[in-house]
Structure 1
Amino acid sequence: MPRTNISVVDASPTGTTKTYVAADAANGMEFVNTGEEFLEVKNGAGASMTVTIVSVPCSHGRTGDLVITVGAGAEVAIGPFVDYLFNQSNGKVNVNFSSATSITVAAVKR
């Protein structure tokens, strides 16, 4: 099954309305990355969970996935993402979640 796409919104000096969507732990998610995007994660659950940003092999060698623990009730902004370390062949960053229970995400370009 394909990954669920996260639409990226542009940040603006006059304000940006972010649209949070439910995390998809079963299929994973993805968003377009130019190197200026951040992933915002809200954990409304009563337990910690992990977000994994999947890295890719590059001329410098694979650096390993980026794994972030998001505490219960916490909100975090992750990024920006270096394109040659995290962009898949389709130009998108792949994101996996240990749980999707009460987890919402948004992607913002600075």
Structure 2
Amino acid sequence: MALLAQQVIALTGTTPTYTAAAASTTVTCGERSFLHVKNTAGSSMTVTLTATGRVRGQLAADLVVTVPATTGDKMIGPLAAELLAGASDGVSAAITYSSTTNVTVANLAI
């Protein structure tokens, strides 16, 4: 899984850079971290963020977000580490996409 570079939004303004979605990626978790997904395909698609957190010993459910077709645009977050950070590094969230055709993403932080 490739780590998407996190882009910090500056007070003076930031023009985010979007990359084509890959089947699976990782992003940096944090209370100020967000994933921006754009879908211009003719069908809706889903983004799944793998949950790693536990509540009373039970694994939390994965976060599944539907992005509408054609002009779909979703901001997902904040990406809380206690819910999404992987055990291998403690800071990266694993993300999969049901489709990557005409889907672009940006990992943003404020």
TM-score scaled by length of structure 1: 0.90
8 A Cα contact 2:30 2:78, kept in partner: no
Question: Equivalent residue for 2:82?
Answer: 84
1:40 aligns with 2:27: no
- Mapping of residues 30-69 of structure 1, within 5 Å: 30-58=26-54, 60=56, 61-69=58-66
Amino acid at match of 1:15: G
What is the RMSD computed on CA atoms of the aligned residues?
Answer: 1.2
For structure 2, the 5+ residue unaligned runs are none
8 A Cα contact 2:21 2:105, kept in partner: yes
For residues 6 and 14 of structure 2, the distance between their equivalents in structure 1, rounded to whole angstroms, comes to 11
Q: Pick closer, same or farther for the CA change 1:69–1:59 going to 2, 3 Å.
A: closer
1:59 Cα shift?
5.3
1:35 Cα shift?
2.2
Question: Equivalent residue for 2:93?
Answer: 93
Amino acid at match of 1:71: P
Name the structure where strand makes up a greater proportion of residues. 2
Q: CA deviation digits over 1:4-40, x for unaligned, max 9?
A: 2211011112111211001011xx0001112210000
SS of match in other structure, 2:59: coil
TM-score scaled by length of structure 2: 0.90
1:79 Cα shift?
0.1
Aligned pair count? 106
For residues 3 and 81 of structure 2, the distance between their equivalents in structure 1, rounded to whole angstroms, comes to 17
- The percentage of counterpart residues that share the same residue type is 35
For structure 1, the 5+ residue unaligned runs are none
